[in-house]
Each structure stands twice: as C-alpha cells, then as structure tokens.
Structure 1
Amino acid sequence: MSEALEKAREWEKMHCRTAVEKPFFHVCAPTGWINDPNGFSQYKGEYHLFYQYHPYNKHWGPMHWGHSKTDDFIKWLQMPCAMAPDEAFDGQGCFSGSAVEFQGKHVLMYTGVTQKEKDGKIVINQNQCIAFGDGKDYIKYPYNPVITAQQMPQGSSKEDFRDPKIWKDNDKFYTIIGSRGEDGSGQLGLFESEDIVNWKFVTILERCENRYGKMWECPDFFEIGDTAVIIVSPQEMQAEGLEFHNGGGTLALVGNYNKKEHLFQRKKVTAVDYGLDFYAPQTLKSEDGRRIMIGWMQNWDTYLVPENMTWSGIMTIPRQLEIRDGSLYQNPVRELENYYSNEVKIGKVRLEGERSFEGINGRSIDLTVEIYEDGKSEFSIRFASNEYFYSEIIYSPEKEILTFDRTYSGLVKDVISRRSMKVKKREGRIKVRLLLDRYTVEIFVNDGEQAMSSLIYTSLDAEKIMFYGDGSVISILKYDVVL
C-alpha cells in the first residue's frame, strides 16, 4: 500500500462522519468530498460503488476513489479508500471510471491524470488505467496506461479524454470514453480488448457536434431488450424550454445498436433527470437482470453544503430502468419496500384550501399522491416544513407543469432554487411520488416517466407535510422508511 493510500485510510478512520449526520438510505461522503459514482458493479455476489473522493476537506481536490458496498442497494457498508493518486501515470488524480469482474479479480478502469511543464505552460494529459483487486484492496497495473489519447482520431483532445465505461460482451471487453473531437465538442470513443490490458480503437460511437453542450462526461452504454441507451453528462449546456437546463445536465440518447458494425442509431434525446442536483449517473446489470442506475446528487455550479457540515456529496437512490413505448423510465429499486413501516392510506379527498393528515409527516418517507381531478388553481405539497421553512412541489393542471421550489428551505445564499418540467396526464390524472431522506428530495412522476432530484439542507426538525388545493381531488399512500 502506498503512503498516500495509507494516509487516506487513516484519515477516514479518524474523521468519518457520524450516523447522526448522514441520510438513512443514501450513500454519502464518509468524510470530505465525493462526486461522480464510479465502478458501480457486481463482484462475487455483492454490489460495489466507488466514487470520486477528496477525503481531506469538503471541496473538490486531488481525486481518490472512495468505496462502499451493499447486497440490496439500500443498506451500504463503508469500505476503506480504494485508490489514491500515487503513481507517475495518475499523480494528478484518479478520475472517474467503471469496473468489471475478470478471472476472479475485480478490475477497476479509470482515468489517470498527469501534468508537466512545457515551454512555460502546464500540459495536462488524461489516459485510461486499470487496477486489479479483491473487493477491498486494489493493485494498479504496472504498465499503465492501457489506453492513451494518441489512439483516438487525429484532432482529438489529449486533455479531455476521460471516464471509461467498461463492459463484456461474449468474449470481448469494450469501453466507451468521453473525449473532445476536432470541432471542440463531445465525442465517444469505442475501444475493444480480448485480455483487458491490450486495447484497440474501434470507432467514434456518437458525436455531439456542438448540439448538446460541449464535452460529454461520464458516458454509459447499455441495452434494455432491443433498445440501446447512451447516457452522457454534457458540460456547458444551454437551456431549451423545460427539457434541458443551463450548465451540467444529463442526457439519454435512445436508439438501436448494430453490434456487428458498431453503429448506434439515435432516435430520441431526452433529459434523464429534471431536478436541481443530478449528474454523472452510472448503471449496472443486477443479478436478476435489472438495469440499475445511481447518480451524483449535486450540481457543479451550486454549492449548498452548510458551514457546520464536515462532508459534501450524496448519491441518489439506486433506480430500476425500463423502456416503455421507446422512452426511459426510472423508479427506486424495489428493495426499498423491505424497509417500509407505518403505512398510511388516505382515500379520495377534495381539497379546499390547506390540509394536513394524521401520520403523514417526516424526513425519511416514501409518499405517493394521485391527483384525479383538476382544481380551480394550482395544487401543491409543502414538506420539510415548520413555522420558518419549507420546500414545495407545485402542479399547474392548466399548464401541465410540475415545479420543485426550495426557496424557503433555509438557504442563506442566492442559488438556483426552482426548476420545472412538463408532465402529461394519464387517464385524466397524474401520480407524484416523493422520496425523502433527510437532505434528499427525489420526485418520480407517472410511475417513473420523469424524475426530479434535488437537495435541501433544512433543519431536520422540520417534518410537517401540508397539502394545498382549490377543488383538487387526491389520494395518498405514505410509508416511513426505517433501517
């Protein structure tokens, strides 16, 4: 073990946050800072999640790989730091990547960052490296990097070449890697290997062509049935209506894939999540065949973490992905139901003004509200509420727009607090599912047709939930989530 990795592990032992501070069923930083999920994979019957990690303070710094594992996607065990930037090929950072099992080993594939001075300027290079491990300890391949930017087509960036997603198909391994092309915008390079250490360039699988942001980070590629999906996180997006917002977003490119020709045919491009805090998701295939996705629940441009907190960074609930009518649907993994308690059901009731219901409150709950009839004006749910603070979901039946607003959640900085999305009625109604876990707010509309993820750092004693409507007819189903 290197001195840098040993130092990180010792720091974790001394500074790991207490259970009182953390969410109940969401992965969060053990100490310091975390961002992108990495290496989300199955190995020897357990599911592993790594993440970009700076253990020494709650801001981005030299990137390590933090590590957690689970057997049900809900209860997570904190593992020791897996990698530190401690080699000549990754001395400026072990950036994002993925993982796969091979010959009994857990193989991590990641971006190693190096820099040197040339002609008075700092030159940064990003190349792909691997490490072999046993689920706890990992040894970096001595002949790293295994893929270099020089293998990409002429004109491709040497600095922006990162975030490999690896998978196995029949007897070959494949990886897609985010890059910038000659036009300065995002492209995805596809590589293949028979032995996981020797790789050759295959093709450019997809290109941005300056249509959706610039650099495409953290790509993922998978198939659900006959449908192929590429997920990317573009930088420098510009807003388009309510579908795409400014800054760093996440897109799903849905289409078909010809494996023989390595040709992806794009049919649809949509946002993956419409919330204020969602980026860089990664997926795995579960033991029972489900495609499971987890994302980083934060926004690069909006930093909300209170001064008194010693850590920064939370992941979303793992979500089951499905394709329905050519669109990507997502819902919390069904294992969450094993932790339900205190069911409360409210049959159809007409709202006339403000209303609360006995047993419907809390900050660790799964709450579903169905809106059957349009009222005369907007319908809203206020939650994480007390006499001073609240966050709010607002539904406009006339405009068919759903909005999340955390303006009054206790923020003391002028940050983005409100975001909206267009929703569709299904058989004259909409269904809104609200999943709360202390600081996290995840909204799923119409059985997963759309999702909206955001953070709130409201005082944890704010637990009230209020419903507002002028003629709206609703029903409610609520569970506490207890671990």
Structure 2
Amino acid sequence: MDQQGCGENDPNGPVFDPVHGVIHHFYQRHLAADQGAGPIYGHFASKDFVHWAQLPVAIWNGLDSSHWPPQRTYYDDVAIYTGSAVVLEGAGPKGARGIVQIYPGLCSEHSWPLCDTGTLLAQAVPASYATDELLTNWTKPSYNPIIENTQRDPTTPWKDASGEWKLRTFDGGFYGAASDADLLKGRWYDLGRGRGLSYSKCPKID
C-alpha cells in the first residue's frame, strides 16, 4: 500500500465483506480538497491480504458522492476522523449480512447549528451493494447524524447477550442500539460514561 508521503495516520474500519468475499482497508487520507480539506476515507481492497488495489476515496467530508451532482452533508463538512465498521444482518442485498461504517464527522456551528462539541457520529453504507463488488460507492443515509455532540474514535460495535449493540467513544461515552434493525436505521441512544479508561484513543472493547 502506497501511503503517498505518509498520508495515512489511522486505519479505519478494516473489514471483510461477506457478500463479495473482499477485504477492505480504509484509512485517514490527508488529501487537500475545497470542501474542508479532510482528512477523508481512503480505500484499498484485496482478496488475499497480499495483493492490494487502491480505490477511489470512499467517504468525503461534507459531500455524499453517491449522488450526481454530489450532495452537501453539512454535519461533517470539516473532516472525517477515525471510525469503525460492523458486519450486520440485514445490511447486505436481500437482507444478507453486510457492512455498515460508523465514523466521526467534524462539524462547525456555522454550517451545523447543533455542533456544540465539534464532533458527531454518522453512518455510511454501500450505495449499490449487489453490483458494486469492490464497494467503491458509499452513501450517507438521510437519518444522519446518528449521535450528536459526542467525540471521535468509535469502537467497532459489539452485541451483548441481550442482543443490544454497544459502542464506546474516545471520551468514555457509551451508546446503544436495541437491535440489528435499530443499528441499521441509525437509532442509537446514550448509555452514559464508563468508569475506567476515561480517555482512550481508538479504543477496542470485546
């Protein structure tokens, strides 16, 4: 993988796509752009972990590039920071298991009045899952943002014994989604703050 002059500082949502059998590596790519300058989500893909292909930018800040012309997304117009991915029942074609990306969008009060902490969480999903084998076309659903006024670095969501999905952010915030269907629709709620690891960059919790 060519980091283009140390242009990669974090991997984001590395994940195996069970629909097409492809491994995806997303990363924070520092690419100057008129719309906020990023970073944004760069993208590599592989079928064997050895040979990788660089693909177009997967997720832009401030834009949903799955439309033409691209649509403005004011809630993440400053940058896209480190997020995670989950494979979820119902997220793929015809209800199959598929990928959902959860990412921190950096916002500004100028363009998003509810931007108190400067960060929120949003979701992105493949726009043409069945026919897009390399998942080069991602869309930001209309229900975004999913969590307002939070912090960056959401963990990979995990499901507990009750079937509730949970994730944690950099500042110790915990959030829940009641079911697979709720996660897929971006219906998250605040579960409060954890007692340990009050601040932790890119936390991983199982």
Structure-to-structure mapping, 1:6-405, within 5 angstroms: 27-30=1-4, 33-44=7-18, 45-56=21-32, 61-86=37-62, 87-102=73-88, 103=90, 104=92, 105-116=98-109, 125-133=118-126, 134=129, 135-149=135-149, 161-169=151-159, 171-179=163-171, 188-193=172-177, 194=179, 195-196=182-183, 197-208=186-197, 215-222=199-206
- C-alpha separation between the residues in 2 aligned to 1:72 and 1:172? 33
TM value normalised by structure 2: 0.71
Amino acid of the structure 2 residue aligned with 1:191: Y
- Shift in alpha-carbon separation, 1:126–1:106, aligned structure 2, 3 A: same
Displacement of 1:175 after TM fit? 1.3
Identity in percent: 25
- C-alpha separation between the residues in 1 aligned to 2:103 and 2:197? 23
- Shift in alpha-carbon separation, 1:189–1:123, aligned structure 2, 3 A: closer
- C-alpha separation between the residues in 2 aligned to 1:29 and 1:115? 29
- C-alpha separation between the residues in 1 aligned to 2:54 and 2:156? 24
- C-alpha separation between the residues in 1 aligned to 2:26 and 2:164? 24
Larger Rg computed on CA atoms: 1
- C-alpha separation between the residues in 1 aligned to 2:6 and 2:117? 25
SS at match of 1:216: coil
- C-alpha separation between the residues in 1 aligned to 2:41 and 2:153? 13
Amino acid of the structure 2 residue aligned with 1:43: D
Amino acid of the structure 2 residue aligned with 1:220: K
- C-alpha separation between the residues in 2 aligned to 1:35 and 1:68? 15
Structure 1 residue runs of 4 or more that deviate by more than 4 Å after TM superposition: none
Q: Which residue of 1 aligns with 2:68?
A: none
Q: Which residue of 2 aligns with 1:271?
A: none
- Shift in alpha-carbon separation, 1:208–1:141, aligned structure 2, 3 A: same
- C-alpha separation between the residues in 2 aligned to 1:217 and 1:164? 9
- C-alpha separation between the residues in 1 aligned to 2:137 and 2:195? 35
**Contact 2:32 2:38 (C-alpha < 8 Å) held by counterparts:** no
Amino acid of the structure 2 residue aligned with 1:70: S
Q: How many pairs are equivalent? A: 166
Describe the superposition over 1:305-343 as per-residue Cα deviations: whole angstroms up to 9, x where unpaired: xxxxxxxxxxxxxxxxxxxxxxxxxxxxxxxxxxxxxxx
Describe the superposition over 1:167-217 as per-residue Cα deviations: whole angstroms up to 9, x where unpaired: 3426332211112xxxxxxxx2221112211112224334346xxxxx422
- Shift in alpha-carbon separation, 1:28–1:205, aligned structure 2, 3 A: farther
- C-alpha separation between the residues in 2 aligned to 1:205 and 1:46? 35
TM value normalised by structure 1: 0.32
SS at match of 2:11: strand
**Contact 1:174 1:190 (C-alpha < 8 Å) held by counterparts:** yes
- C-alpha separation between the residues in 2 aligned to 1:73 and 1:221? 24
- Shift in alpha-carbon separation, 1:32–1:55, aligned structure 2, 3 A: farther
Comparing both structures, which one devotes a greater share of its residues to strand? 1
- C-alpha separation between the residues in 1 aligned to 2:195 and 2:15? 24
SS at match of 1:89: helix
**Contact 1:92 1:113 (C-alpha < 8 Å) held by counterparts:** yes
